[in-house]
Amino acid sequence: MRAFGLMLLSVCWMGLQTASAQDCGEVVCEGQLNVNLQDDCSAVLTLASAAPGFDCAATVVVEDGEGADNVIQGCGTYKFVVTADNDPNNNCWGYITAEDKQPPVLETCPDDVRGWNTYNYGFQEFVCNDIDKLLLDGPATYKLDADGNLIEGSISSKHAKWLFKHVTGYATFTDNCGDITVTVTDEVVYGYDPDCDDVTIRRKFTAVDACKALQSPDVCYQDIYITKPSLEDVYCPKDAELSCEDDIKLDAKGNPHPDETGYPWLYQAFDVDYVKGEDDWEDYEHKAYLNGIFCNLGASYTDGERIVVCEGTYKIVRTWEILDWCTKEVYECKQTIKVGDYEAPEVACEDVDYDNDGHKDLRTYSTGPYDCTAAFHVPMPAVEDNCSSWEVLTEIVGFSTDGPVVATIAPGASRYVSGIPLGCHFIKYTVTDACGNKEVIFCAFQVEDLVEPIAVCDDDLNVSIGGQGLARVYADDIDEGSSDNCGPIRIEVRRRVLIEDYECLDMFDYDGDGEVIDDELQLSVQFGDPDGDGVGQEFY
C-alpha cells in the first residue's frame, strides 16, 4: 500500500464511483485528503480523487457512520477504503477531512423592546429598577439546529430561558451543517444624567457553528429601553375603611399607618417579589408602592383633624404629595380614611346550672304564693363590644319568639317584672351600640307553679255513728278553706284503719317486727280516675 501527499479533492455529486479497465495493477490511495462541505453539509469522494490513476472498476466507501457509500456527511476526519471490484484483496485506504467553510447565517433578530405583555395587566413599560430583572447574570448560551429551531433544554440559565420565552425574545441563525451555539451578552448604556435619563440594555447575539466553531459575521443587537416613571403614572391609594375592633398599626401621630391604608403606587413590568427564573409570574400584581424612594419619585403625607362620627368611629382626610425630582413637579391627591365600629355587639344568654352537673339548664321562675304569675329580676345578657358603649332593651315575649310582648324594660330602667304567666317564654334582648349597630337574641325560660297548695282542715271533727254502726265522712266535712295560688285544687280524705283481727294480715307487717300489732292499716279509694280505667284506685 502506498499513500501520497495532501491534495484538494474536487467535488461532484454522484453515487458509488466505479471504473472499468483491465489489468490496472495495484490500487494506490491518497493518504490524506481535504474537502469543503456543500450547502447540504455533504460531499462525494470520487475514485479519481481517492485513488488517482486506477482505471479499473472499484468501490469507494467513507466510514462516516452514515452508511457504506462514498458520500461524506458532516464535518470531521474520516477513513475511506478503495476496493477493486475484480479482486477484494486489492484495496487501499486513507483519510479525508471534511470542513465546513460556511458560517451560520442570521435568520431573525428580536425587535427592540420597551415593555412586555403581562399576564393580567396588559402591556407594561420597563421602569427604573426593572433593569435588575432584565439583565442577564452573565453571558448566556443556547443551541439551535440547522434550521434555526431552538433545541429544548439548551438555554444555559432559568432566568435567560424565562426572559427569552416571555419577555424579550431571542435571535435565530441557520447553518448548512447542523447545531449552532448562540452566545448572548448584555451591556448597560446610561444617559447623561443617570438619575433621570433612560437606560438602555444593549443585548448582543453571536453564533458559531458546531464543526469548526466558525463565527457568523452576522451579529444581532437588541435594545431594551428602561424609562423613568412620571407623575402621570402614579395612582393615589383608594379610600380606606378600618374596623376599630382590629389591631391597627398607627403612625407617630396616632393615626392609621399607611401600611394599613395603602400608599400611592404605579405599575411596573415586574413585581417587587419577582424571583429570577421563576414561572409563577402569572400571580404577580406588577405594582410598585411609594413607601420610600422609588426611582425619581418620593411620597409624603399629612393628616387633617379627626372628624368624629360616633363613639369609636372617626374620619380623617390624608393628603399625599408625590415629588418628581427630575422635573421638580409635585402631584397631590387626597385619601379619606374611616375607622369605624361596623360590627354589632356580641351578645349571649347568661346560663344557669341548677343541679351543678356541668350542663346548662332551662332558666326557671316560680309563681308567687298569692297569684299564678311570676315576678322576678330579669338578668342582663353577656355583652362584648370593643369600640363603643351600648344599651339593652329587654322584652318578655310570651310562648314563642314571635309571641306577644308581656313586659318591657327600657335601657337603664329597673329590671324587675311581674305578672308573667305560666308557660315557656323568651327574654328578647336588643343590644344597640353607640354607632347604631344592633344585635337581637332570644333567651328561653319557663314559669312553673312550684308553690304547694295550702291545706286547711277541721282538726276537731266529731262524727255520729248511725244505727248500723257506720258513718261517712266526706272531704267537704273536713276542708276549712284549703286553697292554691294557681287554680282548682283536689281534696282527698281517707281514714286510718286499726284491725283487731290480724289473721292473714302478714302482708301488713310494715315495721318488719314479725307482727302487725300497732301497725296502721290504710285502705281508701282515690278521688277520680287517674289511670283512666273507669275504676277508682284502692290502696291501703
For the segment 88-114, what is each residue's pLDDT rounded down to a tens digit?
Answer: 899 999 999 988 888 999 999 999 999
Q: Are residues 356 and 371 in the same domain?
A: yes
Q: Is there a domain that residue 527 lies in?
A: no
Instruction: State what percent of residues in the chain have pLDDT above 70.
Output: 85
Q: Are residues 365 and 332 in the same domain?
A: no
pLDDT value at residue 484: 81
pLDDT value at residue 268: 86
Q: Is there a domain that residue 505 lies in?
A: no
Q: Which domain holds residue 393?
A: 346-448
Q: How many CB atoms lie within 10 A of CB 253?
A: 8
Question: Average pLDDT in the 177-199 region?
Answer: 92
Q: Is there a domain that residue 502 lies in?
A: no
pLDDT digit string (tens) for 490-532?
888 776 655 555 455 566 666 666 665 555 544 444 445 555 5
Q: Are residues 53 and 147 in the same domain?
A: no
pLDDT value at residue 539: 42
pLDDT digit string (tens) for 310-331?
888 999 999 999 999 999 999 9
**What mean pLDDT, rounded, does the chain reach?**
85
Q: Is there a domain that residue 521 lies in?
A: no
pLDDT value at residue 67: 82
Among 89-98, 131-140, 278-287, whose mean pLDDT is lowest? 278-287
Q: Which three three-digit cell numbers place residue 351? A: 346560663
Q: Which three three-digit cell numbers place residue 465? A: 255513728
Q: Is there a domain that residue 525 lies in?
A: no
Q: Which three three-digit cell numbers place residue 355? A: 343541679
pLDDT value at residue 405: 94
Residue 12 confidence (pLDDT) above 80: no
Q: Among 404, 432, 448, where does a domain finish? A: 448
Higher-confidence position of 183 and 528: 183
Distance, CA of 227 to CA of 246 (rounded, Å): 41
Q: What residues pair up with 440 in beta bridges, in sequence order?
A: 430
Q: Among 57, 83, 99, where does a domain finish? A: 99
Residue 477 confidence (pLDDT) above 90: no
Q: What three-state secondary structure class fits 160? A: helix
Q: Are residues 218 and 125 in the same domain?
A: yes
pLDDT value at residue 102: 86
pLDDT value at residue 22: 54
Q: Are residues 350 and 336 in the same domain?
A: no
Among 193-197, 409-413, 460-464, 533-537, whose mean pLDDT is lowest? 533-537
Distance, CA of 207 to CA of 178 (rounded, Å): 12
Work out how many domains the chain is built from and give that number. 4
Q: Is there a domain that residue 236 lies in?
A: yes
pLDDT value at residue 15: 38
Q: Are residues 187 and 172 in the same domain?
A: yes
Q: Are residues 164 and 113 in the same domain?
A: yes
pLDDT value at residue 508: 60
Residue 21 confidence (pLDDT) above 70: no
Q: Are residues 224 and 176 in the same domain?
A: yes
Q: Is there a domain that residue 196 lies in?
A: yes
Q: Is there a domain that residue 490 lies in?
A: no
Sequence-distant (6+) residues with CB within 8 A of 277 are 157, 158, 159, 161, 162
Q: Are residues 363 and 334 in the same domain?
A: no
Q: Are residues 115 and 223 in the same domain?
A: yes
Question: Average pLDDT in the 241-249 region?
Answer: 89
Q: Tell me which amino acid residue 279 is.
A: D
Q: Among 317, 340, 363, where does a domain finish? A: 340
Q: What residues pair up with 448 in beta bridges, in sequence order?
A: 366
Q: Are residues 325 and 370 in the same domain?
A: no
The CATH number assigned to the domain holding 378 equals 2.60.40
Q: Are residues 61 and 128 in the same domain?
A: no
Question: Average pLDDT in the 413-424 region?
Answer: 94
Instruction: State what percent of residues in the chain have pLDDT above 90.
Output: 53
